[in-house]
Amino acid sequence: MKNKKTEIAFFVFGLAVFLYLVVRFGIDQITANIAGAGWSLLGAVLVWFIIYVVNTLAWKLLLGEESKQVTFIHLFMVTVSGFSIDTITPVIALGGEPYKVKALATTVGTRQALSAVLVYRMVHVLGHMLILFVGTLSALAFLTLPVSLVWMLIVTGAVMLVIVILIISGLRDGVFHRVQSLIEKTALLRRFTHVLKKHEHSFNEMDEVVTHAYRNRRGKFYGAVLLEFVSRACMGVEVYLILRGTGVEISLISALFVYVAYSIIINAVFFIPLNLGVREGGLYLGLQSLALPPMLGIYLGVVIRIREFIWILLGLLLILPLTRRSEKAIPYPEERTTGTLP
């Protein structure tokens, strides 16, 4: 019952924020743009169905033995509803992670669910950083861009590469071990060493969770990363379909660059819920760099926003059947402490 109340609370919170955003955006504007977008909006919605399917496949790979306890449909529903909560969460898009733990705990137990969510989040971020890196290199290699933008992309690509290396290093050696070493070597941070020591056992357990998938199921781990990379590449396809729907001639490489441009800006300003105003600015700059009408960025942003509204609503509605099917989660102390970690 407690678990059901928590999931219902997630649903009520998400629905309240969703309604606020719809009213703020304007119902008249939404309906008018749905009619104007036509087939391109339908294409964008279908592209995101494919993205969520690929995300679910990646997560199922990472679950290992625990994947037998979770059906693909159940995991797909948790994926969509969790990302919906992420999207509307103020400050930082991680509000869906506690929900995902709760939703998975009903089938695999709390400890295993926490492990699965943590590892998948890192792989999800790794796939994102890789597509930004590859998209940046593709833009530099195949597109004619202003010199100032070329230098900015070179710096951005270098930063993305560093982040990829750091994530893989954390997955290989342990995230918290790396953080502890950094704090101990930094004079300004050394005063916090006692805090880490106090929770060292818990941090070691979390590091074991993070490193297990990388060390013991390397093939499935890289398979999951590849799937996450593909899912991010599909977001460039979404841009391509929407622009082609307006009659704009654009290549897939150029569409991928537009996605990379607005994604970089969104991640730099991560604390704004639903990226209000930020995505449009990134699209404006990306299109302007390609010598395309920058005002198309406003239209593109509106169509993407409506597609988001559609999937947010679907995700929130999926919380309800998940809640009805949920049973009491296995509490942490009663779970097995040996065996295969996800």
Taking the C-alpha atoms of residue 190 and residue 133, their distance in angstroms, rounded to an integer, is: 33
Average pLDDT on 21-49 reads 75
- The answer to whether residue 21 sits within a structural domain is yes
Helix (H) or strand (E) holding 57: helix 39-63
Between the alpha carbon of residue 303 and those of residues 11, 49, 84, 321, 328, the distances in Å are: 25, 16, 17, 29, 40
pLDDT over 90, % of the chain: 13
Spell out the residues 6+ positions from residue 324 whose beta carbon is closer than 8 angstroms to its own: none
**42-51, 81-90, 93-102, 288-297: range with highest mean pLDDT:** 42-51
Q: What is the rounded distance in angstroms from the CA atom of residue 316 to the CA atom of residue 310?
A: 10
Residue 184 belongs to a domain:
no
What's this model's pTM, rounded to 2 decimal places? 0.79
Mean pLDDT of 66-88: 86
In a domain, 183, yes or no: no
Candidates 132, 97, 95; CA nearest to 116 is 97
Per-residue pLDDT, averaged over 193-206, amounts to: 66
pLDDT value of residue 268? 62
Which phi-psi region, left, alpha or beta, contains residue 228 (left: φ > 0; alpha: ψ -120 to 50)?
A: alpha
What letter represents residue 194's amino acid? H
- Asked, for residue 205, whether it belongs to a domain, the answer is no
Which of 124-133, 134-143, 314-323 has the largest mean confidence? 124-133
Query: Is 168 a member of any domain?
Result: no
How many domains in the chain? Answer: 1
Considering only CA atoms, give the Rg of the chain.
Answer: 21
Nearest alpha carbon to residue 278 among 292, 291, 288, 267: 267
Whether the predicted pLDDT of 333 surpasses 50: no
Where helices occur in 186-295 by DSSP H, the ranges are 193-198, 200-216, 218-245, 252-268, 278-289
Is 50 exceeded by the pLDDT of residue 186? Answer: yes
Per-residue pLDDT band at 225 (split at 50, 70, 90): very high
**Residue 138: inside a domain:** no
Q: How high is the pLDDT of residue 5?
A: 60
CA distance 144 to 141: 9
Pick 100 or 76 by higher pLDDT: 76
Select the more confidently predicted residue: 122 or 191.
Answer: 122
pLDDT reading at 53 higher than 90: yes
pLDDT of residue 280: 67
Q: Is residue 266 part of a domain?
A: yes
Q: CB–CB of 45/310 below 8 Å?
A: yes
Is the predicted pLDDT of residue 185 greater than 80, yes or no?
no
Res 230 pLDDT > 90? yes
Q: For residue 269, what are the domain limits?
A: 2-122+217-327
State residue 195's pLDDT score. 63
Q: Does residue 265 belong to any structural domain of this protein?
A: yes
Tokens of residue 71, six digits: 């059906």
Alpha carbons 181 and 233: distance in angstroms, whole number: 35
Residue 195, amino acid: V
- The pLDDT-based confidence of 15 (bands split at 50, 70, 90) is low
- Mean pLDDT for 236-265 is 86
Least confident of 47-51, 199-203, 220-224: 199-203
* Residue 70 phi, psi dihedral angles, 5° rounding: -120, 120
Calpha distance 257→304 (Å, rounded): 16
Share of the chain above pLDDT 70, in %: 67
| Longest pairwise C-alpha distance within the chain | 61
Instruction: Compute the distance between CA of residue 228 and CA of residue 222 in angstroms, rounded to an integer.
Output: 10
Question: What is the model's pLDDT at position 339?
Answer: 38
Q: What value does the mean pLDDT take over residues 112-141?
A: 86
How confident is the prediction for the chain on average, in pLDDT?
A: 76
Question: For residue 21, what pLDDT band results from cuts at 50, 70 and 90?
Answer: low
Q: What is the mean pLDDT of residues 172-189?
A: 67
Q: Is the per-residue pLDDT at 228 higher than 90?
A: yes
